[in-house]
Chains A and B, each alone.
Chain A
Amino acid sequence: MPACFAMPGTELLHQVLSGIANGGIYASVALALVMIYQATHHVNFAQGEMAMFSTYIALLLINLGLPYWVAFFLTLVFAFVFGLGIERLVVRWFNASPVLSVVAVFIGLLLIINGAAGAEFDYTIKPFPSPFPSNAWYGSPFMSSHEVGMISVTLIVLAAVFVFFRFTPLGLAMRAAAQNPASSRLVGVRVGWMLALGWGLAGLIGAVAGMMAAHVVYLEPNMMSGILLYGFAAALIGGIDNPWGAALGGPIVGVLENLAGACIGTELKLSVALVTIIGVLTVRPSGLFGRTLVTRV
């Protein structure tokens, strides 16, 4: 505990900045969770495993000799189709099922994907490359190039998601389908496919998080379990029905996690996520930026 108060300013700054960098990953995972939650009111527990599996595909492509960014974008395509396929083949049949059945389906998916990754790629821990230079960022003692890269990639993903939902007809249709499926059908929106697209996009965003995280935590079938928990905490802090809240929740959780690691010790870092989740659910269930809809009848 005293280590915390005795922490020099530069060390504190380092912890905060690196927390923000990790927060980028949590923000992406949170955004993926929110995307599915908004449309279906379900939290996709398999989100992390989908990201992990996609990251293995990225490694496969890189090992085939493809340049990193080519492998990166091919992986995004794979992750999109993977997410879309899971919705169309499995999840859609449970849209009208009780919540517990859906939870069971998601946990089933988690175990299946986890097992498949273990069987296909084995359980040994593998290093995963970073596309960014390995030296410190402009000689800065506070951040590595990979950390700066993670933040940049997160910001690009957020901007792309924003532009897609705000300015494209398909994005508008997806928002409409999430909000009012019955009315959406009446204007001709194919609601089922909008849900599937949502899963595809969530898979894609998760894969970005997976590829960024794998360089830090190394690639193995369970690499996303802690990250999913942090991502869930981030989504809850931001308000699970608000994508921009999720984006802000990410860095908040990242910084909390790092400071807790420095103050209380790394063993208890993951507990911070749990404490955050319980705290938010108790004190402010709609999150910091949860939206209250104004309606009139």
Chain B
Amino acid sequence: MSAILETRGLSAAYGSTKVLQGLDLAVEQGGIVTLLGANGAGKTTTLRALCNMMVRASGEIRFNDRRIDGSATEDIVRMGIAHVPDGRGTFVSLSVEENLRLGAYTRRDSGVAQDYERVYGYFPRLKERRRQQAGTLSGGEQQMLAISRALMLRPKLLLLDEPSFGLAPLVVQEIFRILRTINKQEGVSMLLVEQNASIALELADHAYLLETGRIILQGLSSTIASDESVRRAYLGY
């Protein structure tokens, strides 16, 4: 298997504050990778650096063996990387359906119309609420909307920034179950940033552990999940 996404020496800074220091990451084609770590470890910043958004990044980023570092966010999206951002990025005063339409903004193919049904298939609740103002959705529904908006791009790689944040455990279970389905059915590769390590390790096949901007551990999710000392020291469960 070859890597769909690979970084070498990825560093990033906000102004003069260095946040990431030389990350080497890889996401396999069709794989799910999770990036774990405490608050402030640089997880969100990693995703931002990959999209060249709000942060000054350096180092090498390859997507499908093509250098994408330095490309504008809008162009990276066009290559097939969809980012479900921290805070969900809902267009609050637009309707649910308009949010989805924006997800397909860069597409010119004729499959867009069917894709509404495709994402409503994953999240039927959004269909019921498709004319509703997106800001009135519950937190869980907005997270579903954010994932659906990203899926409307028909991405090759999905970047997910803490999809479990602020949600009830049952809703988290539901969302992660659907993420697995999406990965299996559509072969979308995923890079998942999470604080909720146990559920992330269940979903992902590979994991990286981040501490103050450096990778301190990596390996198969199952290996990391079964290492009790790592779990206690870094993952808190």
A160 at the interface (CB under 8 A from B): no
User: Is A172 part of the binding interface, using a Cβ–Cβ cutoff of 8 Å?
Assistant: yes
How far is B137's CA from A297's CA once the two chains are assembled, in angstroms?
10
B138 interface residue (CB < 8 Å to A): yes
Is B236 engaged at the interface, CB distance under 8 Å to the other chain?
no
Cβ of B135 under 8 Å from chain A: yes
Which residues from A are CB-within-8-Å of B149?
A: 187
Using known A-B contacts A169-B101, A176-B94, determine if residue A297 contacts B106 with beta carbons closer than 8 Å: no
Please report A residues at the B interface, Cβ cutoff 8 Å.
Answer: 169, 172-173, 175-176, 179-180, 182-191, 291, 293-297
Q: What is the CB-to-nearest-CB distance from A25 to chain B, in angstroms, rounded to a whole number? A: 29
Closest chain B CB from A283 CB (angstroms): 25
Per the bound structure, the CA–CA distance linking A180 and B85 in Å amounts to 12
Q: Is the CB of A180 within 8 A of B77?
A: no
Closest chain-A Cβ to B162's Cβ sits at a distance in Å of 13
Complexed CA–CA distance, A73 and B130 (Å): 38
Contact, CB under 8 Å: A182 / B105: no
- Taking the closest CB of chain B, its distance from the CB of A44, in whole angstroms, is 22
| B92 CB-CB contact with A under 8 Å | yes
Contact B94 A175 (CB under 8 A): yes
Which residues from B are CB-within-8-Å of A296? 135-139, 142
Asked if A183 and B106 make an inter-chain contact with CB atoms under 8 angstroms apart, the answer reads no
B53 at the interface (CB under 8 A from A): yes
6 further contact pairs, Cβ within 8 A, besides A188-B74, A188-B78? A180-B91, A182-B53, A183-B91, A185-B77, A187-B103, A294-B135
Neighbour of B74 across the interface among A176, A190, A294, CB < 8 A: A190
* List of B residues within 8 angstroms of A297 by Cβ: 87, 139, 166
Q: Fill in one digit per residue for B71-104: 1 if any A CB lies within 8 Å of its CB, else 0.
A: 0011001100011010101111110001001110
Q: Which residue from A176, A191, A293, A295 sits with its C-beta under 8 Å from B102? A: A176
**B51 at the A/B interface (Cβ < 8 Å)?**
yes
- The residue on B at minimum CB distance from A192 is B74
Interface: B133 (CB within 8 A) = yes
Q: Which of A182, A291, A295 contacts B89 (CB 8 A)?
A: A182
Q: How far is the CB of B57 from chain A (nearest CB, A)?
A: 15
B138 to chain A, nearest CB (A): 7
The interface centre, meaning the residue of B54, B77, B91, B136 with most chain A CB atoms within 10 A of its CB, is B91
Chain A residue with Cβ nearest B84: A186
- A186 to B88 alpha-carbon distance, docked (Å): 11
A183 proximity list for chain B (CB < 8 A): 85, 89-91
A179 touches B103 (CB 8 A): no
Which B residues touch A169, using CB under 8 A?
101, 105
B window 40-66: CB within 8 A of A: 51, 53-54
Q: A169-B101, A293-B135, A296-B138 are in contact. Are A186 and B77 (CB under 8 A)?
A: yes
Q: Could you say which residues of chain B place their CB within 8 Å of the CB of A190?
A: 74
Contact between chains at A182 and B94 (CB < 8 Å): no
Q: From residue B16, how far is it (CB to closest CB) to chain A in Å? A: 18
CA distance A186 to B78 in the complex (A): 10
- Say whether, besides A173-B105, A187-B106, A190-B74, A182 and B91 are in contact (CB < 8 Å): no
Cβ of B190 under 8 Å from chain A: no
Tell me if B153 is interfacial: C-beta within 8 Å of chain A: yes
Q: Is the CB of B89 within 8 A of A172?
A: no
Task: Determine how close the nearest CB of chain B comes to the CB of A96; give it in whole angstroms.
Answer: 13
Q: Nearest Cβ in chain B — how far from A183, in angstroms? A: 4
CA distance A97 to B78 in the complex (A): 30
